[in-house]
Amino acid sequence: MKYSLINILYIAIASVLCVSCDKPEDYVPEASFIKIYNDEFFESSYIPLDVVQAMGKGYFILSAYDSWNSYILRVDEQGKFMWDYKLEENIVNPIKGLYFIDSAFYFLCMDDLSLTTLLMKATDQSGSARVERTYADIIYPLHSSKVDDGFLLVSYNRESYSTRLTKLGTDFAVRWHEEYSVEQDVEEAIIGHLTRIGDRLPFFSGQAGNKYFLNGYYNYSISMLFVNASDGTQTGAVNGFRSKSAVSSARYLDGNGFALSRFDFGENYIIPKIDLNTTGIGIASDLEGNIHPEIAPNAFVYNEIVDVNGKEVIIYATSTKAGQMLLYAYDAISGTLVGTHHLGSTNPYEAIDFVPTNDGGLAVLGNTYTNGRFSRITLIKLSEKQLIEFVNQQN
C-alpha cells in the first residue's frame, strides 16, 4: 500500500475531526490520532481484522483485501506508515487472532487450493510474511485466540460436517482436536462469510476458568459451546436459531459470569454481566439484556476487559446505523453503563477491534469508506485522558 495525495488529504482532514464532541485541544500529537490508510489503486477494498501493539513500538494490523486475499500493515506509535505487504495470491482467508511473540508477529491464513491452514510469521526485519507451519488436516480456519497455555483454533470440517476446535501449544503444535456435529451443509454460508459476499458470522473462542468456549455452527444453528480444556469434550451450549439469532461476542469475567452481546433477527442486545450454565443447554434469545436500536443490523461486536486508571471496565466496540464507530463502557463489577463514545464522521465508519495501549490509551481499529465506495483501514488512538473521561461520564 502506497501513500497517494488523496491519502494525505484524508489523514489531514481526519486529524482535525472533532469526534464525540471532544474539544480539539484534547488531541495531543503522539497521544491521540486518526489515520486512514489509502491505496493508489482506488478499486481495491481492505477489510481490517485485528490489531496488536508491538511493545510500545507501534502497531501491526492484519487485514483482508479484495475479498479474502491477505494483507499486513505496520505503523509506528503515531500511526505513521512503516511498511506493508500483500501476501502471495494463494494465501487467503486471514482470520482474527494476531500474536506478538519475541519480536515477531504470528497469524493464521489458508491455502486457496487445498484449504489447509497456514501459520504465518512476519518481522520488521523482513518486511514480509512467510509460512511458519502447515496444518494439513485443518481446513477452513475461522477464528483463533490466546489461552493460558497456548492457542485455540476454530475451523470447519467440510468432510464430517462439523465445527472443529483445535488446541495448539505455545509452540503452535497441535495438542488435540474435537469436533461438534452440524446437521446440515453450511459450507456455502462459511464461504460467503470468508469471502465477504455473504452474511458475516460471529465466530469466536476463549477461556473461562478450566473450560474453553467457542461460537460456531452446531446442530442447525450458530451456537456458543462450552468444552473441557483437557480434551475439548462438550459440556454445555447456548443455542441460537439458524444464523438469525445468536451470541455475537463473549468475554469471561469470573465464576460463571460473562460479558456478552447477542443479536436476534436484526435487533442487538448488550449484556455486560450474566451468569451462564456451562454444563446445561440454554437459548440465546432467552438471555436478558438491553436492546440497543442504534447498533447497525449484523454489526460486528467486540468486547474486552480493560484497566483504566485502576478501574476495571468492560468496553464494547460496535457500529451504528448512522455510520459511526461506537464504544460502550460498563463497570466490570456492577455491570452498569459508565460511558459511551462515538468515533468518526464525514465518511461511514465501522468498528472492528481495539487494543489497550502501553501509554494508558486505547487504539481502535476500523474501516471507513472513502468516496462512499472504497473500504479502507482506519486506526483511531484515544489518549489516556480521553479514555479516562470516557469511562467516567457517569461520575
Instruction: For residues 106-134, give the mean pLDDT.
Output: 98
Q: In the structure grid, which three cell numbers stand for residue 170, read together? A: 505455545
Separation between Cα atoms, residue 270 and residue 255, nearest integer Å? 20
The answer to whether residue 168 sits within a structural domain is: yes
Q: Is residue 32 part of a domain?
A: no
Residue 209 placed within a domain: yes
pLDDT of residue 30: 62
The pTM for the full model equals 0.92
- C-alpha 115/C-alpha 182 separation (Å) is 19
Give the rounded percent of residues in the chain with a pLDDT score beyond 70: 92
Q: Which residue has the higher pLDDT, 165 or 395?
A: 165
pLDDT number for residue 238: 98
Who has greater pLDDT, 367 or 24?
367
CA distances from 49 to 161, 181, 259 (A): 26, 27, 21
**Cell reading at 28:** 495531543
- What mean pLDDT do residues 156-180 have? 98
* pLDDT for 264 beyond 50: yes
30 in a structural domain: no
**CA–CA dist 369, 378 (Å, integer):** 10
pLDDT of residue 241: 97
The CATH number of the domain holding residue 116 is 2.130.10.10
Q: Mind listing the pLDDT tens digit for each residue in 274-284?
A: 999 999 999 99
Mean pLDDT over 354-380 rounds to 92
Work out the mean pLDDT of the chain and round it to a whole number.
Answer: 91
**CA 172 to each of CA 101, 109, 232: distance values in angstroms, whole numbers, following the listed order:** 12, 14, 17
User: How many beta carbons lie within 10 A of that of residue 295, not counting itself?
Assistant: 24
**Inter-residue contact 301 to 292 (CB < 8 Å):** no
**For residue 306, is it within any domain?**
yes
Express as a percent the part of the chain with pLDDT over 90: 86
pLDDT bracket for residue 27 (50, 70, 90): very low
Q: How far apart are the C-alpha atoms of 1 and 83, rounded to whole Å? A: 8
pLDDT, residue 57, reads: 85
Q: Is residue 58 part of a domain?
A: no
Whether residue 26 has pLDDT greater than 80: no
Write the pLDDT tens digit of every residue in 231-263. 999 999 999 999 999 999 999 999 999 999 999
Domain around 337: 84-372+384-391
Number of folded domains that form the chain:
1
CA-CA-CA-CA torsion sign (91, 95, 99, 100): positive
Task: Tell me the three cell numbers of residue 47.
Answer: 477489510
- Taking only Cα atoms into account, the Rg of the chain, rounded to an integer number of angstroms, comes to 20
Res 5 pLDDT > 50: no
- Strands 281-283 and 234-239 come out as parallel
Phi, psi of 149, rounded to the nearest 5 degrees: -120, 35
pLDDT category of residue 28 using cuts at 50, 70 and 90: low
Residue 310 grid cell: 485502576
Residue with cell string 470468508: 194
User: Is residue 315 one of the residues assigned to a domain?
Assistant: yes
| Strand order, beta sheet including 337-343 | 302-308, 311-319, 325-331, 337-343
